[in-house]
């Protein structure tokens, strides 16, 4: 059914990466959207890695779940700060992260009101800031940095995400969706997750 040589069935020697963590998110969004069941999720796992010759770390960062409808037509709102679709991975507890790695978790919070709006709104996304206490290489593998996840049946779109670095001189640099950099002692990476779409227009609810 899936033709050879396409993105979902690549032929050697095509370079492939992130099939489980990124491509699968987009496929799931497409299937749920085609069935009219669920708005787009954040469409990414925000794969963040950092390390040096001694330490290596990999985490995925949650957003909010999309709004949609049950099989009987009842609508439902999304939930804030959860992974969806192809993953249920959990983040390392802040105390353990800071004990085992030379980093400081400056901030991790739910961005209230950031989910796509609608008669049923999506859950809200998150923002996470990690400051480095040693020189580290840092990389991000993510999606929806320029195009927001879509709402469904008149529901509003979510928000596009971003990955930024805060340098010691105060400047903020914006990384690409898939990018890497080096962070010096005292510098930080800031991940703002994309947010899911809302379901159905608010107009009907206000009549």
Provide the 3-class DSSP secondary structure of residue 95. Answer: helix
pLDDT tens-place string over residues 81-98: 999 997 778 899 999 999
Which three-class secondary structure state does DSSP give residue 58?
strand
Taking a C-beta distance cutoff of 8 angstroms, is the pair 76, 67 a contact?
yes
Q: Is the pLDDT of residue 205 over 60?
A: no
By the 10 Å C-beta count (0-12 exposed, 13-18 middle, 19+ buried), 142 is classed as buried
pLDDT (tens digit per residue) in 118-167? 999 999 999 999 999 999 999 999 999 999 999 999 999 999 999 999 99
pLDDT band at 207 (very low <50, low <70, confident <90, very high): very low
Q: Which of 114, 133, 99 is nearest to 65 (CA)?
A: 114
By CB atoms closer than 10 A (0-12, 13-18, 19+), residue 71 is exposed
pLDDT tens digits, 161-197: 999 999 999 999 999 999 999 999 999 999 999 999 9
pLDDT of residue 17: 87
On average, the pLDDT of the chain sits at 95
Look at residue 204 in the predicted model and tell me its pLDDT.
53
Q: pTM of the full predicted structure?
A: 0.94
């Amino acid at each position: 059914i899936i033709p050879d040589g396409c993105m979902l069935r690549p032929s050697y020697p095509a370079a492939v990466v992130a099939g489980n963590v990124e491509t699968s998110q987009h496929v799931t969004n497409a299937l749920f959207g085609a069935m009219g069941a669920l708005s787009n999720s954040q469409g990414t796992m925000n794969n963040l890695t950092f390390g040096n010759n001694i330490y290596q770390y990999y985490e995925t960062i949650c957003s909010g779940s999309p709004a949609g409808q049950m099989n009987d037509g009842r609508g439902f709102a999304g939930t804030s700060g959860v992974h969806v679709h192809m993953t249920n991975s959990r983040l390392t507890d802040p105390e353990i992260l800071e004990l085992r790695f030379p980093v400081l978790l400056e901030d991790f919070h739910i961005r209230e009101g950031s989910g796509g709006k609608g008669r049923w709104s999506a859950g809200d996304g998150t923002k996470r800031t990690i400051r480095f206490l040693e020189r580290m290489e840092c990389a991000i593998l993510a999606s929806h940095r320029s195009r927001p996840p879509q709402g469904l049946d008149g529901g509003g779109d979510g928000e596009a995400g971003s990955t930024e670095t805060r340098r010691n001189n105060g400047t903020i640099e914006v990384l690409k969706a898939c990018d890497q950099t080096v962070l010096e002692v005292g510098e930080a990476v800031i991940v703002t997750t994309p947010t899911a779409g809302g379901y159905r227009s608010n107009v009907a609810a206000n009549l």
